[in-house]
Each structure stands twice: as C-alpha cells, then as structure tokens.
Structure 1
Amino acid sequence: MTPTWWGLCMPRRHQKANISLPKSVHRIVSRGKEYFYFQKGRGTENPGSRIALPKDPHSPEFWAAIQQLRGASISMPADTFSAVLDEWILQLRASGELTDGTISFYEQSSQIARKAWGALSPRGLKPLHVQAVMNGLSGKPGAANNFLSTMRSFSKWARLNEHIDANLTEGITPRKSENGHKPWTVAQIEAAKEKLSGVVRRGVILYLYTGMRGSDAVRVGPEHIDEGGFALTTQKKKRAVYCPILPELEEEMKSWDMSPPGPFLQQEGRKAGNKYTRKLFSRHFAEQRDQIPELAGVTLHGLRCTAVIRLRRAGLSIGQIGDIVGMSMATIERYCRFVDKKASGKAALAALIKSEKKPPTVKRRKTVKQKPSDII
C-alpha cells in the first residue's frame, strides 16, 4: 500500500524497551529517544549523582556498567569462577527472557558459590564440591535447594559455553523439606475474607481462586478477560495459560472497577494507581497478616498450593490443572500427593464398608425330583 502524505508526516511512535530495570536505574524519553541513567536515592532529599548508561539495555555492556556502579567486582581475572558467574548473570539480564526477580534469586543463591570458589578456575570444580556445600546447608533445606537450583542453571549455561567440562550437579538430589509453603485451612481463608481490607484482600481472593504466581497476579487486569476466563502468558515460564473465572471469584469481581486500564491490583494511598511488584504486594500483605492471629505463618504462595488442591478435589486431571495455573506436572503432583492419597484411602474404605454390608448369598436348596412310586 502506498503511504499517504499525512502518514509520512506523522511522527514515528517510539517503542519502549521491554525489559525490567533494577533499583537505581531509570529510563527517560526525550524527543522520541530513550536514555538510561544510574542514580541512587532519586526522589529523596539526598540523591546521588546521575550517571549515563549505555543506550542498549539488551547489551552486556549495559549491565556490566550497572554492576560496576553498584559496587560489584568485575575486575576478577577472566579464568576464575567469579568472572564466569558475572558473565552468566550479565547475559541473563541482557537476554530479557527472565524476570528481574528470577535473576535476583540466582544472584543471591550464587553468593555461597562465589565465596567458596570465587578465585578458583571453574574447570576444576566437580559435583563433589557442590555436594560439600549442600552438606554444609543440612540445617537449611530451603537454602540448599535454592543453591542447587541455581547451580543447575549455571552449570547448563557454563557447559554450553565451554567454561566447564562436566555437569556440576550430576547425581545430586534436592533436600527433603517438611516445611515449605503450606495450603491455607478453611478457617484461615474465612479469616482473610473477613479481616483483610482494601487491595490486599482483593489480591488474596485473586491468588486463591486462580492459583497464579505473584508475578502474574500483579499484572492481570480487565484486558486479560476472555470468554469467562483469564488468558495470559506467564511472566516466569512464558507459558500461555487460560484460567477460568470461578463463580466465587466472579461474585467478588462484581464490586471491582473494570473501567480503568491496567492491573486489578494497584497501590492505594499516596501512590494510588501505581502498579505493584510481587515483592511490594507481599510486603503489604505481610503488614496486614501480622495483625491477624488466625493468619500467623501463612504465605501468599501457600494460596497457590490451596488453589491447586481445590481444582484437584473438583475432579480435574493434573494436565488440566497445569493448563490453568501454568505449573509443571511434577509440582502439581507434589502439591496434591496427600490429597490424592487421602481420596484414594477414603474410596477404599467406602468400598470395604459396602462389601461388608452386602447381604449374604442365600443358597437355594436342591430340589429332589420325586419318583411316582414315592407318592402316596
């Protein structure tokens, strides 16, 4: 199609960089061009100096500059474990494929490895070294499993990029944890509905009846509604899911304002209308939760487990639940293992009781045919 004269005269619409920026990094647009700069304490009484960053937020140089300004050591010799770890983190940020929360998780969990092996060559590391760190975290199964998960991702990348010769986590199994995120009880759910207020209560309802991850719950809004459900791509796994709006949630949503664009969960008070991050919403939830005795110890992620169990009890298969909540089949099976065993046990008991109540079979007496000579 030949462009019209007015189409040629219209200014080009600038496309924003689709990337999550870390703390102290800010983006501005001036005359259609995009600029990034680093400044600590922006908006406070004592802001730091504003330092320009490289223009391309998807380049390793962009993130290397941020690391340096944040005080991270990137002067380690190139053949050390610490330098390879830095390269991995920089490439994760530059790719734009993972959320900032996931990358921060990797950064935090890898600090143990950096302290232990930072100045060593990565080629000298073996699974026994990773296992030794795991053994040192025997009293902290959660931290041990986080470390193992990070090392698995790092090892896969490092081997592909020829920094190591073998998988550093081969043969290492996660720690068993008796704690973790527990599902909420009926009493806890009722207490939350009754005593939580404002956007925090709305968020809990959204978590409960959808099973969404926190990173998705803070993004979902009216624009995601499609024929009685929420259709969206998950932030963490980039997986397309379709979550039906259950009758209980539909009833709650009748009082929600559907007119403004943006997510259902928006900040209140001084920052009214601003979007939430997963961490900020969790913090605001914790502030209200800690004032309610019935909710002691509960977590938002526990509601994800609660939602999965509710769907399983409703008769949905593990595959169907995965399509709704965007969770792996292994995780769903882990969440539902007790529920499935309990349901199976009840079914077996019902069958046993039914068999015991079955009336005994009455055997018919064999009829002896009389001979004519026996009849008097």
Structure 2
Amino acid sequence: MAKIDLPYVQALTDRHGKRRHYYRRAGYPRVTLPGTPGSAEFMAAYAEADARAPRVDPREKVQPRSINALIVEYYSSASFLELRDSTKRGYRNILDRFRAQYGDKGAASIQTHHLEAIFHKMGDRTGAARNLRRRLNKVFGLAVRLGWRADNPVAHTSTIKRKTEGFIPWSEDDIAQFEAHWPSGSRERLALALLLYTGVRRSDVVSIGRQHVSDGRISVNQLKTTKRVSILIHPALQAELDQAKGLTFLTTAYGKPFTAAGFTKWFRERAAMAGLENRTPHGLRKAAGRRLAEAGCTSKEIAAVLGHSTLSEVEIYTRSADQLRLSDTAIQRLKKAETRTG
C-alpha cells in the first residue's frame, strides 16, 4: 500500500498490476477515486467523497457545553436537518474546520472580540469570513435558545465587504473566441451551448441527459431551488445535442458524470486553453441573462428561463443591458430635443 498526502486516501495495486486509489474512512463506504492523484478529476472526486462523510456523530462524547457540543446540537436541529444534502455538506465543511480549531472551548466563553480576531486572521479571504460568520450566527443563535448563553456574540461582529461584481460575465467576443478554439461536436462546445442556451447552473448542467429532452424542450428540476424549468431548445444547442453520445450529455474522460466542482474546474481549464482566463460556467449564466435582456425579454420572461423566484434576482443579469438600452434612449431624446430647438 502506498500513501498519498491526503487524508483517507488509500492506494492499492490490483491483480492486473494496475494502481487504484480509494477514499477509505472507518465506518463509511469505500469510494473509488478516478484518474491520477492531483488531476482535476481525482481531486473533484476526493472533495465530493470527503464532503459526504459526516464529520460529527451526534452520539460522540464531547465536553458538555463546549463548541463541539454546540455544533453537535446544531447538526441535530430541525433548521439543519431540513436543508438539502448538498447544503448540509457545505455547512459541515465550514463548521468542522472551525470546530477542529476551537471545539474544546466553552460555548459561553466565546466573545465578540474573539470572533472578530478570528475573522481578521482570515485576511483577504473575505468570502470565507462572511460564510463562517453566517454559519456561526445560526449556531450561537441556537446556544441562546438552549439557554447556554444570554447573547449571540456573532450578532455584533462584522466582516470586510469586498466590492465585486462576482463571476465575470462572458462577452460576445469571449463566446466567439471560445467557439473558434473548440470545434462543433466537442465536449467543450456542447458544455458552452448547454450553459448559454438554457441558463442552468453548474449543479444542473452536469446531470442533463437525453431523459430530460422531449418535444423540443429540455426540462429539469433545479437542484438549488427544486423548481422545475422547461426550456425550448435553441437551434445552436440542438446542433450540438445531435452530435452528443451517451445518456448524460457531459461526462468526464472516463465516461462518468461530472461533479459540479469537477465540471467547473474542467470548464475553466478549457476556457483558459482558448485564451480566456477566469471564465466560469456561472459567467455564461450571466451571459444568457444579458442576451435575453438585449433581445427585449421582460423580467418575468427572463426569470422563467433562469428559474428565479424573484424579479430582483433577474436584475443581476440584466443590469448592463438595461444601462445600454436606457443610455441609448436618453441620447436619442437629447438629439431630438436639440433638433427642435435648433
């Protein structure tokens, strides 16, 4: 057995002399890790297996009223148990890192200035600090309800607000450059078309297959919202679907479905190979919203395609198109006014 510098990874040589790797953790099923250690596919599969293995057993013995005990209580609470499995895994990843460092501390002894210092240590990782703050706010809110402490120390903390537009939207030049590099019929072009002409999230695009196609439409239940969307297939997308093989449209080099994280890493690498740095699947979702707005679609029409529940969410994707259209209208009005007075 060879050891790899990752927790719970086991390497074995089978009877054919082939090296195989597994995620193996006591008390949980063994998971096969495809690809070679360090590859995008390997690391994506490892991350998913590691996230699925619960870090906390509610029955485990912990110091009473410690941070450990409080997080165990939170994992057993109704507000946590009613979350989707994917959301639970994300919350566990955040809280278990905090628990590993501070779990032995008393839940009542943690004060606002302690948490401020922890957030400050995270430096420029402001996104991580904000996420940790949100999760701890729930945890210490439970401590108040349980009577473990009189106040929530997270309520008076703050994190750095980073001014950002989020994921970079793809421009028309970006799209043309990607298409010029990756020919029609390639996995890359199929991925681009699925993202651009359906507007689905990465968590949904990885599962779309022939079973979701019927009567010229793609219909899928969104993983994030559970809302069902049904979208007419654009001719450009149909051209790529006609060349696709297999039941699931997007698969790894080994013919296996992508994980959401693995797909994002793969797609970003493919975009970089086309000369497009920092371009993501979500950036194409923004491009889809922009295109719909520029085509004159109403906010409700755009929401129906993108699967948003509120119109305020649509504004994120239509802001640039609205600015362009309104500025053009304003200048045209100005020109007409000048002509009348001239």
Q: TM-score under structure 1 normalisation?
A: 0.65
Match of 2:68 among 82, 86, 95: 82
- What is the CA–CA distance in structure 2 between the aligned matches of 1:338 and 1:48, rounded to whole Å? 45
Shift of residue 123, structure 1, vs aligned partner: 4.8
Counterpart-to-counterpart distance in 2, 1:97 and 1:333: 27
Question: Using a 3 Å threshold, how does the CA distance of structure 1 residues 130 and 66 change in structure 2: closer, same or farther?
Answer: closer
Structure 2: gaps (5+ residues): 1-7, 30-50
Q: CA deviation at 1:217?
A: 0.3
- Change beyond 3 A, Cα 1:328–1:158: farther
* Distance (Å, rounded) in 2 between the aligned partners of 1:193 and 1:219: 23
1:190 aligned partner, one-letter code: A
Matched with 1:289 is: 271
Deviations 1:45-64 (A, max 9, x none): 5768785659xxxxxxxx99
State which of 172, 179, 182 in structure 2 corresponds to 1:193.
179
1:136-165 deviation per Cα after TM superposition (whole angstroms, max 9, x unaligned): 545333223333443455466666777666
Alignment match, 1:22: none
What letter corresponds to residue 170 of structure 2 in structure 1? W
Instruction: Determine helix, strand or coil for the equivalent of 1:290.
Output: helix
Residue in structure 1 matched with residue 94 of structure 2 by the alignment? 109
TM-score (ref. length: structure 2): 0.70
Change (3 A) 1:111 1:39: closer
1:339 paired with 2:321, answer: yes
Unaligned residue ranges in structure 1 (runs of 5+):
1-37, 55-62, 361-376
8 Å Cα contact 1:159/1:166 also seen in 2: yes
Q: Is 1:356–2:338 an aligned residue pair?
A: yes
Aligned residue number for residue 33 of structure 2: none
**Could you report, residue by residue, the CA deviation over 1:82-116 in whole angstroms, capped at 9, with x for unpaired residues?**
33224544779x9585243x334323333564366
| Per-residue deviation, 1:267 | 2.6
Larger Rg: 1
1:122 aligns with 2:99: no
Shift of 1:216: 0.3
* Residues in 2 aligned to 1:223 and 1:346: alpha-carbon distance in whole angstroms: 44
Instruction: Give the counterpart letter for 1:301 in structure 2.
Output: H
Aligned residues: 304
Match of 2:211 in 1: 223
C-alpha contact 2:65 2:106 (8 A) present in aligned 1: yes
Q: By how many angstroms is 1:317 displaced?
A: 3.2
Match of 2:168 in 1: 182
The one of 241, 244, 256 equivalent to 1:256 is 244
Q: Distance in 2 between matches of 1:213 and 1:39?
A: 30
Given the superposition, is the C-alpha separation of residues 174 and 351 from structure 1 closer, same or farther in structure 2, using an over 3 Å criterion? farther
Cα contact 1:215–1:278 (8 A) shared by 2: yes
1:206 maps onto 2:197 in alignment = no
Please tell me whether the aligned partners of residues 200 and 284 of structure 1 are also in contact (alpha carbons under 8 angstroms): no
Matches of 1:337 and 1:134, distance apart in 2: 32
Question: Which residue of the partner structure matches residue 232 of structure 1?
Answer: 220
Specify whether residues 265 and 154 from structure 1 end up closer, same or farther in structure 2 by C-alpha distance, changes over 3 A only.
farther
Contact 2:290 2:320 in 1 (8 A): no
- Are 2:84 and 1:98 equivalent residues in the alignment? yes
Residue 265 of structure 1 contacts residue 276 of structure 1 at CA under 8 Å; is this kept in 2? yes
User: For residues 360-375 of structure 1, what are the structure 2 equivalents within 5 Å?
Assistant: none
Question: 1:11 — aligned with what?
Answer: none
Q: State the 1:215 CA deviation.
A: 0.9
Q: Which amino acid aligns with 2:290?
A: I
Residue 304 of structure 1 and its aligned partner are, at CA, apart by 1.6
Answer whether contact 1:84 1:163 (CA < 8 A) is retained: no
Counterpart selection for 2:302 from 304, 321, 327? 321
Q: How does 1:29-48 map to 2 (within 5 A)?
A: 40=10, 44-45=19-20
Q: CA deviation at 1:75?
A: 4.2
Looking at both structures, which has the greater relative contact order when contacts are Cα pairs under 8 Å and sequence separation is at least 6? 2
Q: Which moved more, 1:344-353 or 1:224-233?
A: 224-233
Contact 2:190 2:237 in 1 (8 A): no
Which residue number in structure 2 is paired with residue 309 of structure 1? 290
Contact 1:126 1:166 in 2 (8 A): no
Alignment RMSD (CA, Å) = 4.1
How far apart, CA to CA, are the structure 2 residues paired with 1:345 and 1:292?
Answer: 33
Paired residue secondary structure (1:304): helix
Identity of aligned residues (%): 23
